[in-house]
């Protein structure tokens, strides 16, 4: 069965960087795009961007350009998202989600990684 396993809860200091992971199993990793979504506590969902694992092509929501960087390691079926220059506004749950290329809806989601930015 399709599974997306995300890295654990993070508590980091303002100004630091962080790399989150999302390990895929149960399907061919290079057949689907991997998407990233942010959800602040009690808030809605924000699309961050996507990466195509077969060629590394990325696209980002303008708001997250310079903040988030998506990469993949196809040898381990893992997608990564690096968040830079963290502030309290980056405190949120971050989800990875799978999307078919033909239709960009997100059919499977990881459980999320909670990130808290605090001194």
Partner 1 sequence: DIQMTQSPSLLSASVGDRVTLNCKASQNIYKNLAWYQQKLGEAPKLLIYNANSLQTGIPSRFSGSGSGTDFTLTISSLQPEDVATYFCQQYYSGSTFGAGTKLELK
Binding residues for partner 1, rule: CB under 8 A, are 35, 44-47, 59, 61-62, 95, 97, 99, 103-112
54: tokens are 């077969």
Separation of alpha carbons 24 and 60, rounded Å: 21
Closer residue to partner 1 in complex, CB, 53/112: 112
The answer to whether the CB of 55 falls within 8 A of the CB of 74 is no
What does the DSSP assignment read for 11-24?
EE-TT--EEEEEEE
Sequence-ordered list of residues with C-beta below 8 angstroms from that of 6, at least 6 positions apart, any chain: 20, 21, 22, 23, 94, 95, 96, 110, 111, 112, 113
Closer residue to partner 1 in complex, CB, 3/16: 3
CB of 33 to partner 1, least distance (A): 11
CB of 105 to partner 1, least distance (A): 4
Closer residue to partner 1 in complex, CB, 26/111: 111
CB of 75 to partner 1, least distance (A): 26
CB of 14 to partner 1, least distance (A): 26
Closer residue to partner 1 in complex, CB, 16/31: 31
Reduced to 3 states (helix: H, G, I; strand: E, B; else coil), residue 113 is strand
């Amino acid at each position: 069965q399709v599974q997306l396993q995300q890295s654990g809860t993070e508590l980091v200091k303002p100004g630091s960087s962080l790399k989150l992971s999302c390990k895929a199993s149960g399907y061919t990793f290079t057949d689907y795009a991997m998407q990233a979504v942010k959800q602040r506590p009690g808030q809605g969902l924000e699309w961050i961007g996507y990466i195509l694992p077969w060629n590394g092509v990325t696209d980002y929501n303008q708001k997250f350009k310079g903040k988030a960087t998506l990469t993949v390691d196809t040898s381990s079926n893992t997608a990564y998202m690096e968040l830079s220059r963290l502030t309290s506004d980056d405190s949120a749950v971050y989800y990875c989600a799978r999307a078919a290329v033909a239709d960009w809806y997100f059919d499977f989601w990881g459980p999320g990684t909670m990130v808290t930015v605090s001194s």
